[in-house]
Structure 1
């Protein structure tokens, strides 16, 4: 079972535009990643400066469902990891179809049609077929007004900049506690589409950056053409995960106390591996708990590991092995892992 579940696995997680924040995307040059944004103070009376966190995020959320585009997407992490992808995105306000072609690393093409995801791996002539309810659109939420985001985050416009040739508002989204990271978001002024995103630690340092290096808004992307490209070629093998939807209670698990702001979304079990995945979100950040039987030969190292903004914690709990993954501070993963309780 994949260890990073939210979205396509950038993750960063994650990571909506977090349906675009995919692990397929590329990094900007190190100097660009570290460069401070050009910030101009909002003018008094500018309505954009008065938007609430829900206003800003709703606008970004809606833009990702209403605009078609083609672009080259770039992701860079503070640990030097880099990746790139070419993206074709078509939508009609109701349905979305997207193709993500990796430009670095293993050759792969990922197609998403609503919650259906197909990943084509040409070297092995394999297609992985999945259904993902959490699509990772940034912001990763159903809608901001359906979450407790305003209780745990603030947002304000801090300036303007140009990204991939488009004028953008720079919006700072900061957490009110130490359980989550902050974000600096570049939102295209006319549409609200997210064109650049930085994930920030508690000191304001950039942990991960994702951005379009080139973008065609309202490009003539035909939804039907992308759907036709999802056809599996003759002779290719199709792999489908055996994940079954369940509940944590049905599997005998619970949390001693809720983690502030995070609500459970889904729970899955993969019978062939005996792994349970329990997914949580606060509307922006996601956490997955993977629970399986302890195996002394495989499960040898406990600790916390980082890759950009994604942290992973591994821990033995009696006869169980727990892996917590999320784009959150290590303290949040510890709270989840230590709060996990076996009820039967």
Structure 2
């Protein structure tokens, strides 16, 4: 799930995504207007990336992706108590189920947040500016969930990432509507708030019983998972899309390595685990999330390799082809 990630910030528990829309070519800005446009974009990104972490809010939104005709409904509750974020995401369709998240300190930044704000000094010159990867254009204003929003168009400059159309609440910076779009103009995912309450009863949110089926995702209060930078341990990648940076490596379960990469807007992970037999190979896609399965050898041991993320299939396949043991 990556819903809460995009709701809290720009970086993709779901990155969700309206209507028929095809990107128009971004006009060449008048040089005399460029500074004000850049300043407006910078202010908008800062608000999107950080302000929503501090908000207390509750709202309902819809979500759908291209692989299904089902429109799903969710209720999200977000509040801050003594400098720590808390969040609940309740499914409104199907079996009653919920994701509960507690314990993220407000001074924690996700890798996407840090890249957007230029905070990953360890990556240094390896990080290409986002304006070299995407074209950004503030288009117009519209009304979403009864609130005025600024519409931001994000057009990728290559075939290795997706585009977005984001309707950003002018008061808070919260993304009220989002479309994720591929290179043909096809909408892969979309979500849209239907209603939003910025003054919820915090005690009521805290005391509300969890759904019968729920999963708790607790963060460590002792600090953030520091972004590592540098290079993965034990594995090398001959190719990743331009502008993506390695931001961490974790051991999942006992024997699975997870390598994480982001360009500040999109993310993907590489999972590598020993296999006792030939692993399946191929590709699958759900909405904007692709999973490319392959294999890699290390010390005569075959390993299952899976690239998962919000990147086009062509990018996932090239990433997988370049993974090697070190």
Q: Does the alignment reach a TM-score above 0.5?
A: yes
**In the alignment, which residue of structure 2 is the partner of 1:10?**
2
> Is structure 2 residue 161 aligned with structure 1 residue 172?
no
Q: Report how far residue 181 of structure 1 moved.
A: 0.5
Scaled by the length of structure 2, the TM-score of the pair is 0.75
Match of 2:54 among 48, 52, 66: 66
Match of 1:312 among 266, 291, 295: 291
- Distance between the aligned counterparts of 2:19 and 2:204, measured in 1? 38
SS at match of 1:254: strand
Deviation per residue, 1:69-106 (Å, 9 max, x gap): 11012111011254221111113795322111111244
5+ long unaligned stretches in structure 2: 121-128, 219-224
Scaled by the length of structure 1, the TM-score of the pair is 0.72
Q: Report how far residue 145 of structure 1 moved.
A: 2.8
Number of residue pairs matched by the alignment: 297
Match of 2:142 among 156, 161, 181: 161
**4+ long deviations beyond 4 Å:** 13-16, 18-21, 44-53, 133-136, 224-233, 236-240, 244-251
**In the alignment, which residue of structure 1 is the partner of 2:264?**
283
- Distance between the aligned counterparts of 1:256 and 1:295, measured in 2? 26
Q: Is the Cα contact below 8 Å between 2:64 and 2:71 reproduced in 1?
A: yes
Q: Report how far residue 169 of structure 1 moved.
A: 1.1
Aligned CA-pair RMSD: 4.1
**In the alignment, which residue of structure 2 is the partner of 1:100?**
89
**In the alignment, which residue of structure 2 is the partner of 1:34?**
19
SS at match of 2:113: coil
> Quick check: 165-174 or 90-99, which moved more?
90-99
- Distance between the aligned counterparts of 1:232 and 1:160, measured in 2? 37
SS at match of 1:142: helix
Cα distance change, pair 293–211 in 1 and its aligned pair in 2 (3 A): same
**In the alignment, which residue of structure 2 is the partner of 1:342?**
325
Q: Report how far residue 10 of structure 1 moved.
A: 3.3
Match of 2:306 among 323, 332, 336: 323
Q: Is the Cα contact below 8 Å between 1:52 and 1:156 reproduced in 2?
A: no
SS at match of 1:332: helix
Match of 1:111 among 88, 96, 100: 100
**In the alignment, which residue of structure 1 is the partner of 2:182?**
201
Q: Report how far residue 341 of structure 1 moved.
A: 1.3
> Quick check: 262-271 or 144-153, which moved more?
144-153
Q: Report how far residue 21 of structure 1 moved.
A: 6.8
5+ long unaligned stretches in structure 1: 1-8, 28-32, 117-132
